[in-house]
Structure 1
């Protein structure tokens, strides 16, 4: 059946951690894909008052997403800017450094890659770094705030064309890749140009936001969750069930099941899915 199984794998894998202000749950599901290419990090209080959350959505294989899950935290804390408590710079430097590590240790000149959405909570300040089309959303009062924007080839045409690439009618870079920023994908990083001017770059967009008592929960999810529901529908789905007292693991299971296609006819709702819910008690 091509890139899909004959029946989806709907078993859910769960993880949960918490501290005084963060109550965190992750659920993931392979779905219709031939293998599970998502990976994630959930590290509450890996340092005093510092927690890290991340979702890595691999494509072309699970090698890079798994490598990121295994190595991101160590690479982050080793950045001089992290030691100097400049967390925005530390996230930027970590992304660039990891892409070089991947090129050396994992994959050279291949179409294997991974998107990444990372949330770093330092006391009551949130830093979000993003590559690709996974998303980080914040529910503030009853308003959904999108803390990331999708890095799609059609949105970064000037850089892609300058590097010698093109975007086809389906919005794919050189007719194959659906994102314009990612770890790996070194086939698109071969031009004699600086790293931040290649067809695909590993330079994240980073946002810093002060958390407050109006903030109810944070959500991180791979793009497969947003193929059948937009950001606002996903947050409404979660918020309504939290208000009814439903337990977070069950909410995430229901979200994954609701996002899964009944068949592979359209291709939508057929991807791996990883959902991370972080309830905030600031």
Structure 2
């Protein structure tokens, strides 16, 4: 479960961005962890009618998550597919290129890594790319739509075993890692296997969905937000408070506080937490 502080750090860090019909809020909290390893990216309308949002959940250190936050957008727009407005391909290629950049230039052969959940809105199309166990959720009218699924070792056993790994009784890859897809984690990415056949891969799952007038908000969160509450409870909480016209940053603060464990006895609710809310059709 990792090492924890004797008391949680509950100070919140906020960022706001407003552009066009999008109002975007992020709130982050270190919690019980020894350091803050999350990073995020909010770029509404960074190109006309194109917006980019991401949460990066680091583990083993903050180096890779920070690297991703600083470089993701520039690598994305440099893709040949992006110029052709092929956003699914450009997102896919961005993930793979960034993992290569990290391997070659940043942090090698360590257990440092990061998950990522990325949402790109182009006009009325939403593209969600996921790597690991952070989540993206859409509130359509009163329905929660899960746009990602967690990449857990127990769900990708065949590839892990083929690459020489195992999953223990707690669901951890080789007894240490709780995800089967991530940036970094090069201890689990050894030659001569191809990149998409390693124990841990940086190949994202990408989903495309058309937005409509019934879409109220989009939520991105690292796995720490969901350890004590499931996706539906999180979205119900946000929906009820937003409907009451509460300040979104305060709603996110309250969400993180309700997700935080009272102590570290179980290890659940003790992680860093980052919550991102994008209000749609404002």
TM-score, normalising length: structure 2:
0.99
Q: How many aligned positions are there?
A: 282
In the alignment, is residue 195 of structure 1 matched against residue 195 of structure 2?
yes
Gaps in structure 1 of 5+ consecutive residues: none
User: Matched residue of 1:120: which SS?
Assistant: strand
Please name the residue that 2:115 is paired with: 115
Quote the Cα distance in structure 1 between the aligned partners of 2:50 and 2:139. 21
Q: How does 1:225-236 map to 2 (within 5 A)?
A: 225-236=225-236
Cα distance in structure 2, aligned partners of 1:10 and 1:91: 34
Quick check: 1:175 aligned with 2:175? yes
Secondary structure in 2 matching 1:99: helix
Q: Distance in 2 between matches of 1:152 and 1:106?
A: 25
> Is the Cα contact below 8 Å between 1:163 and 1:191 reproduced in 2?
no
Please give the secondary structure, in 2, of the residue aligned with 1:36: coil
Per-residue CA deviations over 1:149-180 (Å, capped at 9, x if unaligned) read 00000000000001110000000000000000
Contact 1:24 1:277 in 2 (8 A): yes
Q: Report matched runs for 1:35-46 at 5 Å.
A: 35-46=35-46
Q: Shift of the alpha carbon at 1:19?
A: 1.8
Matches within 5 A, 1:76-95: 76-95=76-95
| TM alignment of 1:5-24, pairs within 5 A | 5-24=5-24
**For 2:32 and 2:161, how far apart are their aligned partners in 1?**
34
| Mapped partners of 1:15, 1:202: distance in 2 | 28
Mapped partners of 2:98, 2:11: distance in 1: 31
> Partner residue of 2:73?
73
The answer as to 2:213 corresponding to 1:213 is: yes
Q: How far 1:63 sits from its partner (Å)?
A: 0.3
Partner of 1:263: 263
**Deviations 1:57-112 (Å, cap 9, x if unpaired)?**
00000000000000000000000000111000000000000000000111111100
Q: CA deviation at 1:20?
A: 2.3
Q: Distance in 2 between matches of 1:190 and 1:202?
A: 13
Aligned alpha-carbon RMSD (Å): 1.1
* Cα deviation digits, residues 100-151 of structure 1 (max 9, x gap): 0000111111100000000001111100000000000000111100000000
Q: What is aligned with 1:273?
A: 273
What TM-score comes out, normalization by structure 1 length?
A: 0.99
- Per the alignment, residue 245 of structure 1 pairs with 245
Aligned to 1:147: 147
Give, in whole Å, the separation in 2 of the partners of 1:142 and 1:73. 32
* 1: CA distance, partners of 2:267 / 2:191: 33
In structure 1, the residue corresponding to 2:56 is in which secondary structure? Answer: strand
